[in-house]
Chains A and B, each alone.
Chain A
Amino acid sequence: MSPEADKKNWVGKSLPRKEENRLLRGRGKFSDDIKLREMLYLRFIRSPYAHAKIVSIDVSGAEALPGVVCALTGTEVAQQTQPFIEIGPDPFAKIKDYPLAVSKVRYQGEPLAAVVAESPALADDAAELVQVDYDPLDPVVDAENALTNKSILHEEAGTNLVWNGIFEYGDVEEAFRDAAYVVKVDHLHFHRFSSTPLENNVVIAQWNPKDERIYYQCNNSFPSFAIQFLAAHLGVHIDRIRVETSDIGGSFGIKITSYPQMAVCALASRKAGGRPVKWVETRSEHITSSAHGNERTFRDTRVALDKNGVITAITSRHIDDCGAYPRYEPLGCVIWSQVFPGVYRFKNARIDFSQAVTNKCPVGPNRGYSRMQHLWFLERVVDICAYELDIPADEMRLRNYIRPDEFPYTTPNGCVYDSGDYPKMMQLAKDLIGWDDWKTKQVIARKEGRLIGIGIGTTLDSGTNNFGQSQIVNPFLPYSGNSQGANCKLDIYGEVVVAVGSCPQGQGHETTAAQVVADVLNIHPDLITVRTGFDTERNVHTGFSGTYASQFAVSGLSAVHGAAQKLKAEMKRLAAFALETNEDDLEFGTGAQGPETRAKSTGKSINYWGLANLVNANSAALPPELYELTLNCRYIWRAPFKVPDTKKKYGSLTLTYAAQLHMAVVEVDCDTYIPRILDYVAVDDCGTVINPPIVEGQVYGATAHGIGAALMENCVYDAVGNMLTSTFSDYIPITAVNMPNVKYGHIETPSPHSYSGAKGMGEGGAAPIHTISAALQDALFASGIVIDDSFNNADSLFRALTAKEISQADKLVKVEKRV
């Protein structure tokens, strides 16, 4: 039977979110809201040094405190566990990463011991009684310095270079030989920041020695990845680890890498005789030691252009800083290449990509992971070339964009951009911001001595990744493709219940999943229950299940759609039997007795309770040929990927390419140097939209993260590795008074690669960072400034604008004219 087309009653509609009822009433269930009988509380003891030998740890004082149950040190952990799996190849595959530091600490805030007590306050008191002697070592806080290997972080590797690879496509030499212009940019730098979800990490673990099972209630956002790491590390059967999540207060990728803390909580629980152990991270712990986004430096960039300013080739050297332990890395060393040419048509390029460890907090997949750094680099390159060649920034982009008629577009490295229309997005953005008007105002303002700039940022949010790209960093890795699971069932009384392998943190998955199922069954979404959160014991997950990499609308909803269709097919077989008709005669809808299946010919119907009853409770009435029906349908959706050519670093790395085009008008105050946003537009294209306000909301959210990162949010370390921005009062997440009003626009270029035409979205490609850099560039180019850093605040602009030596632009950029 071929599945009939869905009704289109609900997909595409602005359905209010199902999640709201509990969240608005203060009845959400976040991990820290959970209290278990006999629960204990864990505190970490953390290093004040960025790099030091641990001479001794004395936990006896803490253990002697009444109410303290046990303490745990790195040495003990190392005796009881295997080091975590390393994703990268040798020599970094040899490093020993334990969740508590064993013989040395490698970043400020690294945990090296833990205490467990009857109350959080007692655990705090006990932590202060742990005595540690350190022997400080030379800290390395800069990735390029790290590559000199003067001070080695991981002796087992013998180098600080985690990974290096050359990504070369086309004929670079020829392009440079034929170039009309060659623009050289000495360096660019993308700063470290973190999306810092409002809810910190929380882990509750119970390792019951009696049944040898570990039960987690936590807010990890990629649990199926976490259990793969934990099972190998703790030496337990993966099925013995249960992970359950409920409401999660944001993650943005940061909560993917909480598995080390999960390991410690489990070991502590076992040591405490199986009592549950809870760890609630403080904000300072979160900022110093959970995960940051990747910092990246771009060196010796050369750009070849023809006489019209069309870019023909780029060569560059990129150095990525992954902090003290690779953990999820070196995946970031290849993930950026999902958007290798950005939105541009150039065919020839060579990028020499390296990643180094430094004595800073390990990085994790932060919203826009690894692609935003590269997209920012490309947008800077395009703008710098535009200004140097005196081509307007909008015109420069139009000359270089991939054209609407070129989709599906195969990039030089074999990725297939599914659909898009960048010029149309630009026009819409111009209309929304009033481009011509601002251009006129800018001229007048300049005459008054005001520094106003208008910037454009075009960017991509590649979603549903091909894990085969991991084999580009390490050919021995056993991962490829992508998949997601979902389950759709009729329960005993006929309720429709959906479970998804995703792990939502505010994206409204319960709502959009219900919309999809509602269309398959032609019933109201209110009649569909979508389970909250993730649970390994629902048995719907695959090895890739979680919420990350902008993909739910594709992988998650395709799985839900498949499961719903499978259920519907079973219901049809049952109904045909019950109504004594054939399947083609059946229609789905809602009748006097609730949701039902009807025979068109006779008008007879059977409701969902009747169908469920036949399978679950009245099975003697069922003929043997229908015994195989379960009304409990698990479906695994698989993305149609091949393993990339790992030698050539060539292949399809992501399924969908949502695009963002932002415009900003920014003024730098001539007295205070404070950059202020005067106008802001965000235009989004994520293909067919499932629920418009949910998409719009995520665009706003990603915009706020980007604006915050561009102007306010920076993880600052001093020369010896002290983290200087370890609280919200120093890190300063963007607030309601800093956030401009955003004018939102969208176009839809449906993806041919997903069943609904939707593209994954949510990460947003960090468009505001590119856009604000571009606007500042526009404001300051005449003053001899080239924006070379992704972070710009009053302080850095003051320094740039008051520097007395030769213009910074002259040092940074060189143009060779050959025409």
Chain B
Amino acid sequence: MPEAVEKVTLQLTVNGKLHSLSVEPRVLLVELLREILDLTGTHVGCDTTYCGACTVLMNGAAVKSCTMFAVQAEGAEVLTVEGLEKDGELHPIQKAFGDSYGLQCGYCTPGLMISTLQLLSKNRKPNEKEMRKAIAGNTCRCTGYQNIFKAIQLAAKNMNGA
């Protein structure tokens, strides 16, 4: 029988905005983002840390927010898809996904763009193998990945100012 659970306080920055909250310890990071902060661009597609629809950037690293408790993000800087654009201008990765037809239903896209951001911030010219590996944890059921590969290459090119 579940007992009344005591909430824990939590501070974290999401897309540049500081939040102080109190949540049940069992709340997952993805639940915090979607249900409490209403950032519904981050999605859920599985329950076994497989699909990466929930991928967000935490302190610069892509993490699967369905597999973390919100409290583990104490003090962290989190970036979600909503934080990619700047003053309404699309991030080069967003632009590249659009220009390359790198999405169909768009359910996987936020997670994929975050994984791409992690890749390109560490490796400005990824080769094919590195690129595939970087998104190995992101399932897309619609695109067959072909146009996602093109999008990542285009984003890399544009971010390198080539």
Contact = CB atoms under 8 A, between A and B. Distances in A.
Interface of A: 16-17, 19-20, 23-28, 30, 32-33, 35, 65, 121-122, 125, 129, 195-200, 247-250, 252, 282-284, 505-508, 693-694, 696-698, 700-705, 727-729, 733, 735-737, 739, 741-742, 744
A25 to B, nearest CB: 6
Contacts of B145: 700, 704, 736, 739
Contacts of B135: 736
Interface centre among A24, A30, A247 (most CB of B within 10 A): A24
A23 B111 CA distance: 12
Contact of B105 (A506, A696, A703, A727): A506
Given A17-B98, A284-B47, 11 more contacts: A25-B84, A65-B2, A195-B141, A247-B106, A249-B45, A249-B108, A698-B104, A704-B144, A728-B46, A735-B137, A736-B136
Contact of A198 (B24, B45, B97, B146): B45
Contacts of B144: 697, 700-705, 739, 742
A26 B101 contact: no
Interface string B82-126: 101100001000100111010111111110010000000000000
Contact of A32 (B44, B108, B148): B44
Contacts of A32: 34, 40, 43-44
B55 interface: no
Given A727-B48, A742-B144, A247 B105 contact: yes
B98 A250 contact: no
A198 B145 CA distance: 14
B142 A701 contact: yes
Size bracket of the B interface: 35 or more
20 contacts: A17-B101, A24-B103, A25-B94, A26-B40, A32-B40, A32-B44, A129-B1, A196-B141, A197-B107, A199-B107, A248-B105, A283-B47, A693-B101, A697-B142, A697-B144, A705-B144, A735-B139, A736-B136, A739-B145, A742-B146
B39 interface: yes
Contacts of A728: 45-46, 48, 50-51, 139
B11 interface: no
Nearest to A741: B146
Contact of B90 (A24, A252, A705): A24
Contacts of B143: 697, 700-701, 704
A730 to B, nearest CB: 9
How would you classify the secondary structure of chain A's contact residues: helix, strand, loop or mixed?
loop
B133 interface: yes
Contacts of B94: 24-25
Given A250-B142, A701-B143, A727-B50, A27 B41 contact: yes
B47 A23 contact: no
Contacts of A122: 2
A16 B80 contact: no
B156 interface: no
A252 B141 contact: yes
B103 A30 contact: no
B41 A26 contact: yes
A220 to B, nearest CB: 15
B109, B140, B144 — most chain A CB neighbours (10 Å): B144
Contacts of A508: 104
Contact of B98 (A20, A197, A248, A733): A20
B39 A26 contact: yes
A737 B147 CA distance: 14
Contacts of B98: 16-17, 20, 24
B69 to A, nearest CB: 13
Contacts of A729: 48, 50
A408 to B, nearest CB: 31
Contacts of B82: 25-27
B43 A737 contact: no
Closest 5 CB pairs of A and B: A26-B41, A249-B107, A506-B105, A23-B106, A704-B144
B146 A700 contact: yes
B81 A507 contact: no
A507 B106 CA distance: 10
Contacts of A28: 41, 106-107
Nearest to A61: B1
B39 to A, nearest CB: 7
B47 A282 contact: yes
B105 A26 contact: no
A236 B162 CA distance: 62
Interface string B1-30: 110000000000000000000001010000
B65 interface: no
Contacts of A744: 146
Contacts of A252: 141
Interface-central residue, A28, A283, A284, A737, by most chain B CB under 10 Å = A28
